[in-house]
Structure 1
Amino acid sequence: MTTTLRAIRAALLVPLALLLAGAAPAAHATAGHGLPGNWLRLAVTRGDAHGVLLLCDPPQGHAHAADACRQLAAAGGDIGRIPRRAGAMCPMLYAPVTASAYGAWDGRRVDYRHAFSNSCVMGAETGAVFDLSG
């Protein structure tokens, strides 16, 4: 990575880290969190940790927000109840990722954390929810 790209990345990560750090206490207090409707703070951890704030009323903040919100609505906000993607074939490659989410869904607190053997398995089991790619 060039020095310029590192500088740009560092300049973008600092405000993001401050924003996320400031949002964390509010995310756990579902009553009075200040965000309307259903929302989840999502993260996939591998190497460089990053995350997004998925808002579902209306869907935004996520590359696949509409799909993720639709899948979450069908599962009642329970990520573990999202049906496994039919026909998903993942390599038997061990490259672990941990998916986590906390927030509020229909007034209930959501606190989800699960380790998957690789990102393909994670996508097959959680649909669009943790597909944070742009």
Structure 2
Amino acid sequence: MTNTTHAVRSGLFAALALLTVGASAPDRTSAAHSDWLYVSLTRGDARSFDTRGTLLLCDPPQGHGRAAQACAQLRETGGDITRIPHEHAICAQIYAPVRATAQGRWNGRPITYEQTFANGCVMTARTGAVFALSD
């Protein structure tokens, strides 16, 4: 396991631990209705270890540079990434696969999403700001 993969997994477990602690706090209502997704990108083929990710929180928006826009897009679709309106984009026909994954909770429902796109431009055109992780 690479250091990056280990760091991503460690960060996810730490974030989930914090959410668990928050859910057991006296004010369970706000913690139970928090909208969050752990979003990650893997560039390259299935054997690639070039994965990075972040925890996108939406109450208030935080997690990456376009968190406010990503949360707004998710609110409009009830947390369904597949319903984000596709942007009109002219993308090069270069095959540079990127796999986008998301797991979390939205409006109290579990969310799981995984899709491989031909390249980052196509991914952004179809998923908006949700996977806009900074380099």
Q: Assess same fold via TM > 0.5.
A: yes
**Distance in structure 1 (CA, Å) of the matches to 2:99 and 2:134:** 15
Letter in 1 for 2:36: W
Q: CA RMSD in A?
A: 2.8
Residue 23 of structure 1 deviates from its aligned partner by 4.9
Contact 2:12 2:38 in 1 (8 A): no
Q: CA separation in 2, counterparts of 1:26 and 1:108?
A: 19
CA contact (8 A) 2:37 2:57 kept: yes
Tell me: CA distance 1:109–1:97, structure 2 relative to 1, closer, same or farther (3 Å).
same
AA partner of residue 109 (structure 1): P
After superposition, the C-alpha distances for 1:81-110 in whole angstroms (9 at most, x for unaligned) are 00001x311011101110000000001110
1:115/1:128 CA distance change after superposition, 3 Å: same
Indicate which of 37, 55, 63 corresponds to 1:40: 37
Report the counterpart of residue 4 of structure 1 in structure 2. none
Counterpart for residue 52 of structure 1: 54
Alignment of 1:6-45 (within 5 A): 15-23=7-15, 36=31, 37-45=34-42
Q: Distance in 1 between matches of 2:24 and 2:76?
A: 24
User: What stretches of structure 1 move > 6 A for 4+ residues in a row?
Assistant: 24-27
- Unaligned stretches of 5+ in structure 1? 1-9
